[in-house]
Chain A
Amino acid sequence: MSEITVDLAGKPVREVNRILHDPLNGVTTVNVLNPDGAHNIAVGINEAVKVEIHGNAGYYAGGMNKFADIVIHGSAGTGVGENMMSGSIRVKGFASNAAGASAHGGLLVIEGDAGLRCAVSLKGADIVVDGNVGSFSAFMAQAGRLVVCGDAGDALGDSLYEAVLYVKGNIKSLGADAQEEPMTEADITGLAELLAKAGLKHDPKSFKRIASARSLYHWNADADQEY
C-alpha cells in the first residue's frame, strides 16, 4: 500500500498524468492537491489505482478512464468521466455539462447536481446522480443506465436507444421517443444493487422507469415523425 502526492499548484497537468501513465510500481493511491479547476486531470488511466483529487477539477476529469477509482473532493467541469471504459469516478460536489458523455462501462456517481446533457450518447456505463440533472440528459443514450435521485430537466432521453433511465423526482418533460414504463421486479432488484454500489439510500420502488418507445428506429413514411 503506497501513496504519493502531487501538488498541481503552478504545474502543468502533464506532471500528474505522466505519473499515472507510467508503470505505477506498487503505488496504490495518488493524491492530487490544488487542482484549482485544471483540465484533463487523470485522463486515460490504464491501470488499477486510486486517485484522490482534493479540490475542483476542470474539464474531462478522469476522461477515458480504465480500471482506476477516482474521487473528486469538489466539483467537476464539463465531461467528467467522458468515454470511461471501466473503473469508477465519484464527484462529491456538482458536475457540469455532459457528465459521463459516451461512457462505455464502469460507474460514475455524482453526489451533487449534474448539469445539462448528463449521460449524453451513453454507451453502457452506469451513472448515478444523487441530485438533479439538467435538460437534454441521456440524449441519444444507446446503452447503460442513468439513475436520477432528484429531478430531471427538459427533453429527458430524447432519441433514446436501449439505455434505461430511472428517475425518482420530477421530470420537466420527456424527449422524442422516450416514454415512461412500469417498473418490473428485475428493474427494482437491479436498481437496488446499483444504488447500494453508489452508496446512496433511496427506495428503488419510488423511481420511474424511462425507456425508448422505439418508434424512431426505422424510417417510416406514414408514421408522421420528424426525421
Chain B
Amino acid sequence: MDPKNAQGKHLSLEASAGYDRKTIDYIQNAAAHGLYEIRGLGAKRALPHFDDLLFLGASLSRYPLEGYRERCVTKTILGTRYASKPVELDIPITIAGMSFGALSANVKESLGRAATAVGTSTTTGDGGMTNEERESSKILVYQCLPSRYGFNPDDLRRADAIEVVIGQGAKPGGGGMLLGQKINPRVAKMRTLPEGVDQRSASRHPDWTGPDDLTIKIQELREITNWEKPIYVKVGATRTFNDVKLAVHAGADVVVVDGMQGGTAATQTCFIENVGIPTLAAVRQAVDALEDLDMIGKVQLIVSGGIRSGADVAKALAMGADAVAIGQGILFALGCNSETYVQGGEHHSALADYEKLGTAPGFCHNCHTGKCPVGVTTQDPILEKRLEPDVGSKRVRNYLKTVNMELTTIARACGKQNVHHLEREDLVALTVEAAAMARIPLAGTQWIPGQEYGKC
C-alpha cells in the first residue's frame, strides 16, 4: 500500500525508468567503493531471443511424425573438413567450456559422466584439463585460450578436439578472470600462479594476432596432432559475419559462436551487459557467412549463449546451426540457485548461505566469490562437498535427456525425420526486432523489416 501524506491521503510513488532503484544502488555502490561490480552468469537484461520465434508445425500442408514410433535422428558429426577423426555425437547438445577453477573438480567429473551417458562432449576451460574430466568424459574438447594456463602437448594429444578461443559471449574482447579466493593450491599449480592471487587472463593470444597468423597457428596444432583432431574456433558474438568468414579462411573445421547471453564465472557487470550482440542476431550472421563461402555442411556451426530448452535448440538448428553448447543451463541443472543441496543422501537448506552473500535462490550470481552455497562454483573444501558427482551427473544427464526429447518432439511435429532437417522456413517471429535480426517473417505475414517483401 502506498504511504499516506500529512492529510492522510495516499501518495503515489513515481519511479524513474532511467534512474530506477537498481541504477541508484549501482551509483551509490560505486561512490562507496570505487570498484566496478564483478559477477557471474550472463547478461540479465531482456534481449531479443529465441523466445521471440515460433515453429510452424505440421497440419494439412505438412505431415507430422508419430512421437514415439517414428524415428527422429539426432546424430551429429563435427569436424569433417580436415580431421581424420571427426567428433561423433549422439545428440546435437554439448557442454560448453567452463574452467576447472571456476567450477570444482566434483562438478567437472559430474559433467564428464553425464556427457558420456548421453553421448555428447564436454569442454575444458581457462584452467586446463583435469584428469577427472578426461577420465570421465568420453569426448573432450580442449580449449586453447589467450592465457594458455596449463596448456601442454600431452593434453593436446589426449583431447578429442581442440577449440581455439578468441573470446566468449559474456565479454568479447576481454580475457578470463578468477579472483584470488578461488585460486587454491591445485588451481594455482595448474595455472602456474601464486596461490590466492587474482588471476587476470590476457585478452589476446601471446603468439598470434589476426586471422592470417591464426592460419599458421591452426596448422601448428594440426601438425602436432597429426591432422587427426577437429579444430574449432570460438568467438564471442560481435562482428560475427566477418569473424566466421575469417575463421573459415584460417582453416577452422568448426566455428563456435557465443552470443552475449553467454555466462561467465567472473566479469565486470558493465562488460557483460553492454558488449556483444544477442545470440539470435549472431546465428543469422554466422549462417550468412557460411552460405556466402559455400561452406554449409563442410564447416560446422555450434551456437551458444542462452540455450536453455529443447525449443531453443530446435530454433538454433532451424536457423542453421549444427549443434549447440550449454553452459549456464548445465549449472542450473546441477543446482545453481536451488534452495537446497544434497549431501549424504539428504536435502539440506542452503538459504542461510545465500543470505550471507546478500542474495536469495533465484537471484544469486555470486560465482566470483567462490562461496557457492550449493558447491558448484567453488574451490572451498567444505562447500565443494555439497555437489556429489553421483548426484550432479544424474541431474545433468536428466536435463540433457529432457532437452533432447523436447528437440525431437518439435522436429517430429514439423515433419522431420532428422533434427538437422529443421530449416528457417519452419519459423516465424513475434516481434519486429526478432524478425529483423533473424531475418524471419513476422507471424501471419511475409514481412521482414529491411527486406524486400516476400524475400527471406
Contact between chain A and chain B defined by CB under 8 Å: yes
Contact B192 A14 (CB under 8 A): no
Given known contacts A18-B226, A98-B206, A139-B206, what 13 new A-B pairs fall within 8 Å (CB)?
A: A39-B219, A44-B156, A44-B223, A59-B217, A83-B153, A97-B207, A101-B207, A104-B192, A140-B206, A142-B193, A217-B194, A217-B198, A218-B197
Cβ-defined partner of B152 (8 Å) among A104, A221, A227: A104
Q: Which residues of A contact B153 (CB under 8 A)?
A: 44, 46, 64, 66, 83, 85
CB-CB under 8 A for A221 and B225, given A79-B207, A121-B147, A161-B193: no
Contact B224 A64 (CB under 8 A): yes
Q: Which residues of A contact B200 (CB under 8 A)?
A: 159, 227
Interface string of B160-197 (1 = CB under 8 A from A): 00000000000000000001100000000001111001
Contact B226 A21 (CB under 8 A): yes
- Is residue B148 within 8 Å, beta carbon to beta carbon, of the partner chain? yes
Q: Which residues of A contact B191 (CB under 8 A)?
A: 142
The answer for the CA separation of A18 and B227 in the assembled complex, in Å, is 11
Q: Which residues of A contact B225 (CB under 8 A)?
A: 44
- Is residue B291 within 8 Å, beta carbon to beta carbon, of the partner chain? no
CB-CB under 8 A for A60 and B192, given A18-B226, A66-B153, A221-B34: no
Chain B: minimal CB distance from A202 (Å): 27
- Is residue A63 within 8 Å, beta carbon to beta carbon, of the partner chain? yes
Contact B207 A39 (CB under 8 A): no
The answer for the CA separation of A102 and B220 in the assembled complex, in Å, is 15
- Is residue B213 within 8 Å, beta carbon to beta carbon, of the partner chain? yes
Contact B202 A121 (CB under 8 A): yes
Residues on A facing B (Cβ under 8 Å) = 13-14, 17-18, 21, 39-40, 43-44, 46, 58-60, 63-64, 66, 78-79, 82-83, 85, 97-98, 101-102, 104, 117, 120-121, 123-124, 139-140, 142-143, 159, 161-162, 216-219, 221-222, 227
Q: Which residue of B lies closest to A42 (CB)?
A: B223
CB-CB under 8 A for A14 and B198, given A85-B152, A143-B192: no
Q: Which residues of B contact A159 (CB under 8 A)?
A: 200
- Is residue B352 within 8 Å, beta carbon to beta carbon, of the partner chain? no
Q: Which residues of B contact A85 (CB under 8 A)?
A: 152-154
Chain A: minimal CB distance from B284 (Å): 35
Contact B202 A40 (CB under 8 A): no
Contact A78 B213 (CB under 8 A): yes
The answer for the CA separation of A168 and B227 in the assembled complex, in Å, is 43
Contact B35 A120 (CB under 8 A): no
The answer for the CA separation of A102 and B226 in the assembled complex, in Å, is 22
- Is residue B33 within 8 Å, beta carbon to beta carbon, of the partner chain? yes
- Is residue B208 within 8 Å, beta carbon to beta carbon, of the partner chain? yes
- Is residue B216 within 8 Å, beta carbon to beta carbon, of the partner chain? yes
CB-CB under 8 A for A161 and B151, given A59-B220, A221-B35: no
Q: Which residues of A contact B33 (CB under 8 A)?
A: 221
Cβ-defined partner of A117 (8 Å) among B147, B152, B157, B206: B206
Q: Which residue of B lies closest to A159 (CB)?
A: B200
Q: Which residues of B contact A221 (CB under 8 A)?
A: 33-35
From 236 to 266 in chain B, residues with beta carbon under 8 angstroms from any chain A beta carbon are none
CB-CB under 8 A for A13 and B223, given A121-B202, A143-B192: yes
The answer for the CA separation of A185 and B153 in the assembled complex, in Å, is 36
Chain A: minimal CB distance from B429 (Å): 42
CB-CB under 8 A for A124 and B192, given A64-B152, A117-B206, A221-B35: yes
Q: Which residues of B contact A227 (CB under 8 A)?
A: 200
